[in-house]
Amino acid sequence: MAQRDGLTKGMMTLVLGAGLLAASVAGADPLVKMDGGKASPGVITAWSGSGKKIELTVAAGKDARAVAASIEANVSGVRTKVQGGKVLAIGKTEADLLQALAGVDFGGEEDMTLLAAAALEDDVDSGSSLRAKTTADLKKLLADRATVAQGQVVSVTQGAFPNVTVNVRVLSGPTGELGKAIRKGQTVAFTPMFAKKGDQLDLSQTTTQTNVGAYFLKAGDRVSVKVGKAAGKGFEAELITR
């Protein structure tokens, strides 16, 4: 198992330690199993709903917050709410959602880190989106067109979690001085940055919570990048998000 940065707060460390121990023994499991186009229970044991609002029941022993965070990190076009220990997925029909969930494995250390990030949110059971509280902060950071690039992921090079380099084909470059080095049509390597307290990730920081998600980006994803300083043959990403 790849080494990873420690997480803040004693209780959170205990939760992560237990989760990682379980993951190392049991391995990752699919959120939903799919056989011949027919869905069957996995980590998610039942589902119901209509239109593009589907309520998901999570298996005993699994944390609904971590499942919700994993869905948001891996299924584009879906946001989640956690209510009464269940996950409400909004944005896809039942058939499309189940098909997407079948491609998501749950239970590795990345899901435990997502749980830690979710645990820092207040009032999770109130039904607010796990991302709702960070939306305003992210919009402010991405409003500066002089330092923001838009693009499409070409490839992702993963190191020890959460370290990653994301190669992005630029669709729209920054308008300021950075625009001279980051131009439309270029492929640029971005390295997400993480705030730390000592040698530990500071998951109380919105940018760190968001940048952890860059580890799960895939080729073809559209991203916005708050460009930092030059780093090697590329640039640091103060923020990178879908």
Q: Which domains does the chain have, with CATH numbers?
A: 6-130 (3.90.76), 138-241 (2.40.50.140)
Q: Name the most confidently modeled range: 58-62, 152-156, 157-161, 228-232.
A: 152-156
Please indicate whether residue 187 or residue 138 has the higher confidence score (pLDDT).
187
Q: Which of 155, 151, 44, 164 is nearest to 113 (CA)?
A: 164
pLDDT in tens, 87-145: 999 999 999 999 999 998 876 544 555 554 554 444 333 333 334 445 667 778 888 89
pLDDT tens-digit map of 162-182: 899 999 999 999 998 999 999
The whole-chain average pLDDT of the chain stands at 79
pTM: 0.52
